[in-house]
Amino acid sequence: MFTERTSVGLDVHAGSVAAAAIDGVTGELVQTMLTPSYEHVRSWVQSLPGPTAVAYEAGPTGFGLYRALTAAGFRWEVGIAAQVGDI
């Protein structure tokens, strides 16, 4: 069973990050577009009610972001597009 309050999904591209989060307590859904800056994404994720878990589709533009946010203490799940239904 997951212990995080907020679940975040990121669609990471070279020029932007589409982000969505759902609060597991209130059901509130938040969607936004972020710059692909590690600091910008980290700051946005930290602004959400925690604890927080993050997921993104594996790809070359997300690996650095994954490492940076994992180092900041966030739990991450990396999905492969063909296996998204299995996550």
| Helix/strand/coil percent split, the chain, to 5 | 30, 35, 35
Residue ranges per structural domain of the chain: 6-86
CATH level 3 topology of 6-86: Nucleotidyltransferase; domain 5 (3.30.420)
Q: What are the pLDDT digits (tens) for 51-71?
A: 998 888 777 777 788 888 888
Pairing of strands 17-23, 6-12: antiparallel
pLDDT of residue 60: 76
pTM, to two decimals: 0.80
List the chain pLDDT tens, one digit each, 87 residues. 568 889 999 988 889 999 999 999 999 999 999 998 989 999 999 999 989 988 887 777 777 888 888 888 887 777 776 665 555
